[in-house]
Amino acid sequence: MNTQITATPKLFIGIDIHKRSWKIHCSTDLFSGKSFSMAPDPELLRKYVDKHFAGHEVNVVYEAGCCGYHAHRCFEGYGWRSMVVNPADV
């Protein structure tokens, strides 16, 4: 019997973005997640995701604030689904 993957695994990333650091929480459709802090660099997050979650469909959300949309544009450029939301709605 041959086993075939029928669904793409999903990764969900919530980010608390600040000027000097990001607080990241990663969860998949199979485990509840891991939280950590990192330097505020979208490329570092991409490298982390590529290393630990290769082959996952990535969904990112963070609240709008003083840091603008640079990270959002980078995430979209990586092919990730990204949303910037109103802080009052989180």
Indicate the residue type of 77. G
Half-sphere exposure (Cβ direction) of 42: Cα atoms closer than 13 Å: 18
Rounded Cα distance, 9 and 6, in Å: 10
Half-sphere exposure of 87 (CA within 13 A, CB side): 5
Query: What would the pLDDT profile of 57-74 be if each residue is shown by its tens digit?
Result: 999 999 888 777 899 999
- Convert the pLDDT of each residue in 38-59 to its tens digit: 999 999 999 999 999 999 999 9
Contact 53, 28 (CB under 8 A): yes
pLDDT, greater one: 1 or 74 = 74
What CA–CA distances, in Å, run from 49 to 1, 21, 58, 80, 87?
32, 17, 9, 11, 25
